[in-house]
Amino acid sequence: MNKRIGFIGLGIMGRPMSLNLIKAGYQLTVYDINQEAIDQLVLAGAAAADSPQEVGENSDIIITMVPNSGHVREVVLGDNGVIKGAKAGAVIIDMSSITPVASREIAGEAAGSGLHMLDAPVSGGEPKAIDGTLAIMVGGREDIFENVKDVLNVMGRDVILVGGNGAGATAKLANQVMVNLNIAAMSEALVLAAKAGIDINKMYQAIRGGLAGSAVLDAKLPLILERNFVAGGRIDINLKDIANVMETAHEIGVPLPLTGQLLEIFHALKVDGKAHHDHGGIVQYYERLANVTVSGTEERQ
């Protein structure tokens, strides 16, 4: 419990993850480009830093949770980056969703300064970040993983080392394919049922216990019926992830025809002004095609 932890990136996911670390009794130093986000964590008991470098100076373990590869590179390796302040032997845990190639490159440069790095992206969205039950896919050295596993267990329930550096990032890409294609398939089915005029709530109760049932169905369908697209997992962030999937797949020679179509759906939603919506909002793409809205009251329309 005497480990000093730094946390960089206090957004939708980072804020509740940080709060859980504070609640668990860890000494936390935080940084974000949004001063209001920092202030909220300071009120909860964290210390504020003026730069990633200062986070590094005051931390044994530095967690990054930022939007993309460029941001990770900047906060870790930039002019005021973690690498400028952290002492040799410190551990950087990047919990962002970036490409495996970028993750390995950043880990290699950090190692040149005596710093260890794990890639540990997460799945579960804001609800599981809040209750500390995220799935965490980790890539890196086993001894380093074992040394920080107690910290990761505060934020996640299923914390698994899946391989060396870059393996966690690769597992997250596969996760994003499965989650988002599941949402897209569910959306097609819901729009079909809505256009046919059946009661979506009754259909849900009929199918949720069969093979069509899924965590995605249970998490997203109630929100769709409420027309609640407040982001737990934003469309623009998932667009970035799926773009990373396609880039990685093309580099290693893996055709992904369904995922390629999904990427275009995300682009269409972004153009339509829905980039800030939850990825459950994929249904809106199909609703526009079919000129129907999934509301749960189709029989009475």
Query: Which residues of the chain are in CATH 1.10.1040.10 domains?
Result: 171-300
Angle (deg, nearest 10), helices 235-252 and 257-271: 150
Residue 297's pLDDT is 63
| Architecture in CATH of 4-163 | 3-Layer(aba) Sandwich (3.40)
Block residue for tokens 């980790």: 138
Residues of the chain with CATH 3.40.50.720: 4-163
Q: Considering only CA atoms, which of 243, 238, 206, 200 is closest in space to residue 222?
A: 200
DSSP state of 91: E
Element at 125 (helix H, strand E) = helix 125-131
Can you spell out the DSSP letters for 179-216? HHHHHHHHHHHHHHHHHHT--HHHHHHHHTTSTT--HH
Distance CA 66, CA 55 (A): 15
- Is the predicted pLDDT of residue 49 greater than 80, yes or no? yes
Task: Provide the pLDDT confidence category of residue 1 given band limits of 50, 70 and 90.
Answer: low
**Structure confidence by residue, pLDDT tens digits, 232-242:** 889 999 999 99
Mean pLDDT for the stretch of residues 70-74 = 95
Confidence at 300, pLDDT banded by 50, 70, 90: very low
pLDDT in tens, 128-150: 999 999 999 999 999 999 999 99
Closest CA to 48 of 27, 68, 76: 27
The predicted structure's pLDDT at residue 66? 95
Instruction: Check residue 301 and give its pLDDT.
Output: 42
* Positive or negative: CA dihedral 54, 59, 62, 63: negative
Summarised one tens digit per residue, pLDDT across range 85-100 is: 999 999 999 999 899 9
Cβ-based burial of 255 (10 A; exposed 0-12, middle 13-18, buried ≥19):
exposed
Nearest to 240 by CA among 33, 110, 124, 66: 66
Please state, in angstroms and rounded to a whole number, the distance separating the CA atoms of residues 174 and 79.
33
- Domain 171-300 sits in CATH at 1.10.1040.10
Which of 6, 54, 180 minimizes the C-alpha distance to 172? Answer: 180
Q: Mean pLDDT, the chain, as a whole number?
A: 95
Measured between alpha carbons, how far is 22 from 124 in angstroms, rounded to an integer?
20
C-alpha to C-alpha distance for 152 and 256, rounded to whole angstroms: 32
Residues identified as active-site: 172
Residue 267 has which token pair? Answer: 């682009």
The whole-number pLDDT of residue 51 equals: 96
pLDDT in tens, 170-222: 999 999 999 999 999 999 999 999 999 999 999 999 999 999 999 999 999 99
**Can you give the pLDDT at residue 108?**
96
DSSP string, 228-247: ----SSBHHHHHHHHHHHHH
The answer to whether 67 and 36 are in contact (CB under 8 A) is no
